[in-house]
């Protein structure tokens, strides 16, 4: 599914090379240790990683700068690093990308933040951080401020990348923002610093940050709407964007209702740095006057590319437009994006729980051969039990074993699309077994809903639900409504 046409995306991306952007924020160096595992350490129950090579990439605000540069813009960076080897390496990486570092200053007592990740068989094993989070010396902070004051008018946008490491603490962000005149400011603030970004063009936060900043549960539709409204009131920003991981992203503007776009990645290998990519695309779009709604559509495509890569990766305009080329722009209401494999649905549940640990996941299952009012009543009742509903759908082979060779009437893909088109359904997973036990083991839903024609003690999956503390709910049925009844009536046979 495309959220924006290839032609429009190409036209927008073409503008990026004419832009010059200033990035202000907390800089980091990412250190990667790559290898594989073939044994467990005899000294402790941990894997032994056979190291094959090392690599270094830009992190934090520096990764935002790298993303902007990859997308074709000219980029300068303002911030503080330590006077150490990591700081020198970070400067070297920035220079190699032709990112201006005149606004980058060193502080003797401050170590450059470095995150070391050990990757074994493309799986992160452990991370070790070197950092000392505190406000910079006043004299060094003033040098950053003086650079911004002197040079800000040569930029088409200023991007603040806040990782809560010290540069933008207290009122320091507000001080720097006051120095910037007639240039759009786009920021990725941490929740504790949101009020410092008062009156800027656009802020972006993830779902967890949105909850922390507002106190509203971004895992529900109503909570998300309240979180967006609260952010706009707190900050007086023109736009607030909340990224929702596997659920896409939401845009809030004072002039229009909430706008949501879906996530597009079918495979997710690494979400680290995806927020930086979204912030970068939004900033470039706003810098050249693109509407916030078009900006989030393009950003969703960029994020889908980045999460398929391992590490804090970037995306360039060639990749971005190629992902859209020769693919029709489909309606945002197309239900196919809700039809997931078991692995995709499992990842989605994991993301939901990470974003909002209190989110209640509901699961139900069935053949849903001819979707009718009785089915709808059960699905609506199931959705009311929690915050998200996953429907397990029996495959055609499974239905034949359960109902006979003349069934199903409708093939599995058509049944899946009809279910996915319902607003109360968040995901549909087709399964080939006779029972949904494997799906329940994978998702571990808080609530498993079945029709009232079952008894809890007769459900083969009941033991699994109880094993992790889940709850079974039997929904009341709508009398006189069943697929069998409909088939009999269609054949003009008496019931």
pLDDT band at 272 (very low <50, low <70, confident <90, very high): low
* Average pLDDT for 358-367: 92
* Average pLDDT for 237-243: 95
Looking only at the bridges linking them, the beta strands covering 123-130 and 361-366 are unpaired
Quick check: helix, strand or coil at residue 163? coil
DSSP 305-325: HHTTSSSS----HHHHHHTTT
Count helices and strands in the chain by DSSP H and E runs? 17, 19
DSSP 251-301: EEETTEEEEEE----S--S--TTHHHHHHHHHHHHHHTT--HHHHHHHHHH
- Looking at per-residue confidence, does 226 or 255 come out higher? 226
Residue 293 token pair: 């709604």
Nearest to 236 by CA among 205, 196, 267: 196
Nearest to 165 by CA among 309, 62, 51: 62
CA–CA dist 26, 166 (Å, integer): 7
Contact assessment for residue 250 and residue 389, using Cβ atoms and an 8 Å cutoff: no
At residue 488, does pLDDT exceed 90? no
Q: Is 276 a catalytic residue?
A: yes
Report the Cα 176 to chain-centroid distance in Å: 29
Contact assessment for residue 32 and residue 295, using Cβ atoms and an 8 Å cutoff: no
CA–CA dist 184, 285 (Å, integer): 11
Q: According to the model, what pLDDT value does residue 228 have?
A: 95
pLDDT band at 78 (very low <50, low <70, confident <90, very high): very high
Residue 329 is given by DSSP the state: B
CA–CA dist 241, 279 (Å, integer): 10
The residues, any chain, with a CB within 8 Å of residue 147's CB and separated by 6 or more, are: 78, 102, 103
Residue 252 token pair: 């809030």
Strands (E), 332-421: 339-340, 361-366, 388-394
Residue 487 token pair: 């088939």
pLDDT band at 354 (very low <50, low <70, confident <90, very high): low
Looking only at the bridges linking them, the beta strands covering 249-253 and 239-243 are antiparallel
CA–CA dist 205, 163 (Å, integer): 11
- Looking at per-residue confidence, does 344 or 300 come out higher? 300
Contact assessment for residue 438 and residue 342, using Cβ atoms and an 8 Å cutoff: yes
Nearest to 218 by CA among 70, 357, 37, 104: 357
Find the range with the poorest average confidence among 85-89, 101-105, 125-129, 335-339.
335-339
Find the range with the poorest average confidence among 8-12, 110-114, 391-395, 490-494.
490-494
Residue 331 is given by DSSP the state: P
Cis geometry, peptide bond prior to residue 52 (ω within 30 degrees of 0): no
At residue 269, does pLDDT exceed 70? no
pLDDT tens-place string over residues 98-110: 999 999 999 988 8
How much is the pTM?
Answer: 0.66
Q: According to the model, what pLDDT value does residue 73 have?
A: 96
**Mean pLDDT score across all residues of the chain:** 88
CA–CA dist 59, 62 (Å, integer): 5
Contact assessment for residue 452 and residue 364, using Cβ atoms and an 8 Å cutoff: no
* Average pLDDT for 243-256: 87
Contact assessment for residue 391 and residue 361, using Cβ atoms and an 8 Å cutoff: no
Contact assessment for residue 20 and residue 154, using Cβ atoms and an 8 Å cutoff: yes
CA–CA dist 15, 284 (Å, integer): 9
Quick check: helix, strand or coil at residue 476? coil
Lookup result for tokens 């929740």: 191
Residue 229 token pair: 């409204």
φ/ψ (deg, to 5) at 37 = -120, 130
**CA-to-CA separations, 76 to 21, 68, 177, 356, 426, in angstroms, rounded:** 6, 10, 17, 36, 42
Active-site option among 276, 369, 426, 446: 276
Contact assessment for residue 6 and residue 326, using Cβ atoms and an 8 Å cutoff: yes
- Which residues are paired to 128 by β-bridges? 116
Contact assessment for residue 20 and residue 72, using Cβ atoms and an 8 Å cutoff: no
pLDDT tens-place string over residues 462-473: 999 999 999 999
CA–CA dist 49, 33 (Å, integer): 9
């Amino acid at each position: 599914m495309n959220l924006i046409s290839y032609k429009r995306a190409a036209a927008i991306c073409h503008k990026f090379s004419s832009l010059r952007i200033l990035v202000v924020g907390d800089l980091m160096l990412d250190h990667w240790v790559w290898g594989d595992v073939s044994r467990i350490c005899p000294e402790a129950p941990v894997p032994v990683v056979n190291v094959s090579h090392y690599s270094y990439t830009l992190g934090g605000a520096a990764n935002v700068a790298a993303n902007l540069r990859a997308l074709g813009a000219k980029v300068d960076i303002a911030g503080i690093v330590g006077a150490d080897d990591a700081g020198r390496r970070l400067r070297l990486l920035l220079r190699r990308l032709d990112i201006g570092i005149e606004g980058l200053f060193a502080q003797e007592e401050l170590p450059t933040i470095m995150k070391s990740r050990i990757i074994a068989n493309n799986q992160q094993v452990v991370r070790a951080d070197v950092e000392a989070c505190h406000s910079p010396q006043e004299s060094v902070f003033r040098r950053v401020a003086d650079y911004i004051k002197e040079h800000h008018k040569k930029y088409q946008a200023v991007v603040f990348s806040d990782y809560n490491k010290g540069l933008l603490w207290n009122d320091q962000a507000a001080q720097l923002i006051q120095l910037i005149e007639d240039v759009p400011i786009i920021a990725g603030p941490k929740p504790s610093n949101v009020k410092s970004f008062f009156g800027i063009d656009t802020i972006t936060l993830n779902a967890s940050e949105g909850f922390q900043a507002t106190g509203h549960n971004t895992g529900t539709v109503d909570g998300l709407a309240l979180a967006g409204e609260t952010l706009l009131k707190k900050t007086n920003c023109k736009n607030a964007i909340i990224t929702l991981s596997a659920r896409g992203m939401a845009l809030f503007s004072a002039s229009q209702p909430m706008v949501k776009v879906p996530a597009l990645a079918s495979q997710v290998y690494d979400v680290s740095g995806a927020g930086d990519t979204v912030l970068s695309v939004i900033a470039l779009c706003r810098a050249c006057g693109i509407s916030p709604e078009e900006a989030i559509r393009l950003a969703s495509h960029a994020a889908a590319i980045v999460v398929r890569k391992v590490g804090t990766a970037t995306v360039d305009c060639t990749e971005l437009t190629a992902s859209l080329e020769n693919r029709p722009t489909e309606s945002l209401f197309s239900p196919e994006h809700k039809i997931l494999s078991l692995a995709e649905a499992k990842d989605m549940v994991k993301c939901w729980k990470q974003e909002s640990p209190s989110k209640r996941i509901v699961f139900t299952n069935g053949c849903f051969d001819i979707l009718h009012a009785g089915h709808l009543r059960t699905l609506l009742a199931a959705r009311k039990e929690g915050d998200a509903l996953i429907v397990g759908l029996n495959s055609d082979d499974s239905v034949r074993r359960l109902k006979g060779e003349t069934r199903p009437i409708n093939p599995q893909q058509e049944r899946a699309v009809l279910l996915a088109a319902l607003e109360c359904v968040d995901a549909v997973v087709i399964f080939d077994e006779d029972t949904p036990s494997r799906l329940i083991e994978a998702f571990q839903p808080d609530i498993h809903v079945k029709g009232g024609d079952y008894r809890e003690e007769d459900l083969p999956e009941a033991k699994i639900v109880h094993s992790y503390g889940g709850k079974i709910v039997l929904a009341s049925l709508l009398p006189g409504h069943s697929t069998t009844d409909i088939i009999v009536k269609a054949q003009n046979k008496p019931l």
